[in-house]
Structure 1
Amino acid sequence: MGVNGWRSADLLDEMNPDWVPNQNLGYANRITPAAVDKFERAARRNENKEAREVQESILAVEDFSTHPVPIDRVAELEDEIKSLRREMQLMRDKHQPFLCNSFEDFGQNDDKCRYFTALNYKVFKSLYKFLEPHLPQPATSFGTTKFQILLFTLSKLRLDIDLTLIAYMSGVHLSTISRYYHKCIYVMFQRLKGLVSWPSREAVQNSMPQCFRRRFGDKVSVVIDCFEILTEKPSEVLQAAQMWSNYKHSHTVKYLIGIAPNGMIIFISNAFGGRASDKFITEKSALLSKMQKGDYIMADRGFLIKNYVENTGVELLLPAFTVGQDQLHPLDIEKTRKLANVRIHVERVIVQLRNKYKILYKNKFPISTLKRTKNYCETPLMDQIVTVCCSLVNLCPSVVPED
């Protein structure tokens, strides 16, 4: 039995404590003084070789640094240095906002603020003060502040920046950034959804632009339209069929939006499949229940809801149709022209919504955003995002002129 307690070493296992030579016992290979001198001379040669290589590399660097530059290239190199410095400054300015910890670091710069949030500096600061008590409290070990959470969430809505990029730029793990983003969206949804609310008839009449008042008096309460948002293809066949849009030639969800004559968004429906008609969405939404008898509702040709609307005492304003006739009657032409002249202003609100918050059209929404999030509320994430974007647009100046 060996030293290790269970068996002797193998024949060639020289590192084993139980290995013992049994031939020559090492006496046949004696180290002579000549062998020692030979080893020392080889070691000195290696040291001298390494020293020479270091000296040669130093000389090469010195020769390069003192190499004369042609005079005709000096101006070219100086311009290149200036160009690289400008590019570096642009990159620093582009990525700096995500590293800011407060408004003092962000700076009172309206252009920069509008680029990242679509809001001016004062509105952004007021919004932060309003939301700050309810924003998620980040752990101190993450080095992230509430200000940064709101900033990158608004930037995600504004520019549709990938959360992975935000995670790398802020030095925080992607899962943490994603969790903060979802919580911030939920907070904004709960606190700002009141900005998309139905006003009283008196409020609508008092804020009625002259372009509406001259043509229709003060009876128009809302202008309705539908817009679609692209989504990924659902895995279920039935769901994919319900979400297929012949208009977009893709899978979409459709929202009914109601806009007051002054350009404020006063109604936004839940998401419907892209296959749903404008009539179906209008009937299934709660829009008509908010209107009063005698109100005017302005819509496009796709809203075939005249019979449904008249039962509620609401007047429907639609462009004239040429169905069953060769051309429109002059009175119908004049009516259609009046509708088009005012609808163009309201349609600009939808364009403003898309331009300010590119998340609504830049990329396809994942199907997971249509599912209810049990951790926060029963409203799907996509509905939360659309409502938040509409609320933020209402904080911006209206695109409809007052006179």
Structure 2
Amino acid sequence: MGVNGRSADLLDEMNPDWVPNQNLGYANRITPAAVDKFERAARRNENKEAREVQESILAVEDFSTHPVPIDRVAELEDEIKSLRREMQLMRDKHQPFLCNSFEDFGQNDDKCRYFTALNYKVFKSLYKFLEPHLPQPATSFGTTKFQILLFTLSKLRLDIDLTLIAYMSGVHLSTISRYYHKCIYVMFQRLKGLVSWPSREAVQNSMPQCFRRRFGDKVSVVIDCFEILTEKPSEVLQAAQMWSNYKHSHTVKYLIGIAPNGMIIFISNAFGGRASDKFITEKSALLSKMQKGDYIMADRGFLIKNYVENTGVELLLPAFTVGQDQLHPLDIEKTRKLANVRIHVERVIVQLRNKYKILYKNKFPISTLKRTKNYCETPLMDQIVTVCCSLVNLCPSVVPED
């Protein structure tokens, strides 16, 4: 028989009779303290349950009989707005790179040029033009079309790592990379028309005086080549084709055509760094765009005189000293005239590199040279170079008009 004169329930572990105490092989020692302890615990549990019931009843009565005053509601709403503003400030503090809208630029041209190389008005017009075609981000990512265009332009401008953009925006790297590639494709499709061959009349009407004084209005285009560093290809043949003796590295080469007024009017596809200027000129579609009687201005490396003259196009090259000790005075004067105007065109290439550091800051992965069928058959690198040339054409020309 137990302390209370009956057996305890199966789950009543606090009852002193819950533990077996009969026929244990030794004398039972049951103290009154154990009984008192159990009774006190039972009373505490009963009192606790009673208080919880009373509090729930009071809460219901307060809710139903004592409504919150109107001024208190307004006070709570103001507090919520204040907390939301504070949350936004904290978010902006930890995400200093991403701006949410044009208002964050405050019509600040310097800030806008730092991230995009464009002034505020041009950037705003560019966004309005591209916005219907930009990828629509999922609402769960908290990213907008404006931010997608901004970080894409910033990638081109500053060559910021996409991993850094992912951390700063709080969006997964794969998502940022997908938005970046889609945005590049949209800009390539919508802006490539800015790099187009003008009519002869348009070139003549916009001819700067520095060209007109020396060559009249016959110069149609000034051509040159520039190289972009790439990673080393894994295949031996590709590595040999892309090795540049000039850069002492693996590169791709582009032929660029610039109008006398400083506008980029032609950009070729990528060629291996080993390709000569002559080979690239012959294989590109440059000469098909020219008319009989046009003048091409080039550097000494473009040994294309015979090929060009067969099409009725004149080639202006600096004089050579091959087979003679020194240049003839007339050749010296001709070379001086060419150098005085070519310097302006070389500044356009420098402007292209300075404005969009992605073209020279780091080596391009070999994967950017491969054609992808997801968006466009044009390799990503060709898309990027074309987009950068198009954006430079939106900037003021470095060639003076007078």
TM-score of the aligned structures, taking structure 1 as reference length = 0.79
Give the 3-state SS of the residue equivalent to 1:83 in structure 2.
helix
- Is the CA contact (8 Å cut-off) linking 2:16 and 2:38 kept in structure 1? no
Return closer, same or farther for 1:30/1:231 CA change in 2, 3 Å cut-off: farther
Deviation at 1:215, TM superposition (A): 0.4
In 2, Cα distance between equivalents of 1:58 and 1:365 = 71
Give the 3-state SS of the residue equivalent to 1:253 in structure 2.
strand
Deviation at 1:383, TM superposition (A): 0.2
Give the 3-state SS of the residue equivalent to 1:228 in structure 2.
strand
- Is the CA contact (8 Å cut-off) linking 1:300 and 1:319 kept in structure 2? yes
Deviation at 1:60, TM superposition (A): 42
Unaligned runs of 5+ in 2: none
Deviation at 1:34, TM superposition (A): 13
Deviation at 1:102, TM superposition (A): 1.4
- Is the CA contact (8 Å cut-off) linking 1:254 and 1:272 kept in structure 2? yes
Return closer, same or farther for 1:34/1:178 CA change in 2, 3 Å cut-off: same
Give the 3-state SS of the residue equivalent to 1:375 in structure 2.
coil
Deviation at 1:47, TM superposition (A): 27
Return closer, same or farther for 1:70/1:206 CA change in 2, 3 Å cut-off: same
Query: For residue 137 of structure 1, what is the aligned residue in structure 2?
Result: 136
Structure with max Cα Rg: 2
Question: In the TM superposition, what whole-angstrom CA distance separates every residue of 1:87-118 from its partner, at most 9, and x where no partner exists?
Answer: 99999999756432211233211000000000
In 1, Cα distance between equivalents of 2:235 and 2:17 = 69
Question: In the TM superposition, what whole-angstrom CA distance separates every residue of 1:28-61 from its partner, at most 9, and x where no partner exists?
Answer: 9999999999999999999999999999999999
Return closer, same or farther for 1:129/1:13 CA change in 2, 3 Å cut-off: same
In 2, Cα distance between equivalents of 1:227 and 1:309 = 21
Give the 3-state SS of the residue equivalent to 1:119 in structure 2.
coil
Question: In the TM superposition, what whole-angstrom CA distance separates every residue of 1:167-217 from its partner, at most 9, and x where no partner exists?
Answer: 111111100000000000000000000000000000000000000000000
- Is the CA contact (8 Å cut-off) linking 1:196 and 1:265 kept in structure 2? yes
Return closer, same or farther for 1:179/1:74 CA change in 2, 3 Å cut-off: closer
Question: In the TM superposition, what whole-angstrom CA distance separates every residue of 1:251-284 from its partner, at most 9, and x where no partner exists?
Answer: 0000000000000000000000000000000000
Of residues 162-171 and 23-32 in structure 1, the stretch that sits farther from structure 2 once superposed is 23-32
In 2, Cα distance between equivalents of 1:332 and 1:220 = 19
In 1, Cα distance between equivalents of 2:151 and 2:14 = 60
- Is the CA contact (8 Å cut-off) linking 2:221 and 2:295 kept in structure 1? yes
Query: For residue 300 of structure 1, what is the aligned residue in structure 2?
Result: 299
Deviation at 1:4, TM superposition (A): 33
In 2, Cα distance between equivalents of 1:155 and 1:100 = 12
In 2, Cα distance between equivalents of 1:328 and 1:311 = 27
Return closer, same or farther for 1:329/1:191 CA change in 2, 3 Å cut-off: same
Of residues 125-134 and 63-72 in structure 1, the stretch that sits farther from structure 2 once superposed is 63-72
TM-score of the aligned structures, taking structure 2 as reference length = 0.79
- Is the CA contact (8 Å cut-off) linking 2:158 and 2:358 kept in structure 1? yes
Deviation at 1:79, TM superposition (A): 36
Question: In the TM superposition, what whole-angstrom CA distance separates every residue of 1:199-243 from its partner, at most 9, and x where no partner exists?
Answer: 000000000000000000000000000000000000011001000
Of residues 370-379 and 7-16 in structure 1, the stretch that sits farther from structure 2 once superposed is 7-16
Of residues 46-55 and 308-317 in structure 1, the stretch that sits farther from structure 2 once superposed is 46-55
- Is the CA contact (8 Å cut-off) linking 1:345 and 1:399 kept in structure 2? yes
Deviation at 1:307, TM superposition (A): 0.5
Return closer, same or farther for 1:34/1:230 CA change in 2, 3 Å cut-off: farther
Return closer, same or farther for 1:320/1:176 CA change in 2, 3 Å cut-off: same
Deviation at 1:287, TM superposition (A): 0.2
Deviation at 1:85, TM superposition (A): 23
In 2, Cα distance between equivalents of 1:54 and 1:301 = 97
- Is the CA contact (8 Å cut-off) linking 1:102 and 1:147 kept in structure 2? yes
In 2, Cα distance between equivalents of 1:2 and 1:334 = 125
Return closer, same or farther for 1:137/1:343 CA change in 2, 3 Å cut-off: same
Deviation at 1:389, TM superposition (A): 0.1
In 2, Cα distance between equivalents of 1:230 and 1:62 = 76
Give the 3-state SS of the residue equivalent to 1:392 in structure 2.
helix
Question: In the TM superposition, what whole-angstrom CA distance separates every residue of 1:1-38 from its partner, at most 9, and x where no partner exists?
Answer: 99999x99999999999999999979699999999999
Give the 3-state SS of the residue equivalent to 1:254 in structure 2.
strand
Of residues 283-292 and 57-66 in structure 1, the stretch that sits farther from structure 2 once superposed is 57-66
In 1, Cα distance between equivalents of 2:265 and 2:214 = 22
- Is the CA contact (8 Å cut-off) linking 1:97 and 1:106 kept in structure 2? no
Return closer, same or farther for 1:93/1:38 CA change in 2, 3 Å cut-off: closer
Query: For residue 93 of structure 1, what is the aligned residue in structure 2?
Result: 92
- Is the CA contact (8 Å cut-off) linking 2:151 and 2:165 kept in structure 1? yes
Return closer, same or farther for 1:132/1:76 CA change in 2, 3 Å cut-off: closer
Return closer, same or farther for 1:78/1:27 CA change in 2, 3 Å cut-off: same
Unaligned runs of 5+ in 1: none
In 2, Cα distance between equivalents of 1:315 and 1:3 = 121
Runs of 4 or more consecutive aligned structure 1 residues displaced over 6 Å after TM superposition: 1-5, 7-95
Deviation at 1:373, TM superposition (A): 1.4
Return closer, same or farther for 1:26/1:78 CA change in 2, 3 Å cut-off: same
Return closer, same or farther for 1:29/1:251 CA change in 2, 3 Å cut-off: farther
In 2, Cα distance between equivalents of 1:158 and 1:369 = 18
- Is the CA contact (8 Å cut-off) linking 2:16 and 2:34 kept in structure 1? no
Question: In the TM superposition, what whole-angstrom CA distance separates every residue of 1:276-329 from its partner, at most 9, and x where no partner exists?
Answer: 000000000000000000000000000000000000000000000111111111
Deviation at 1:380, TM superposition (A): 0.2
In 2, Cα distance between equivalents of 1:73 and 1:141 = 33
Return closer, same or farther for 1:85/1:100 CA change in 2, 3 Å cut-off: closer
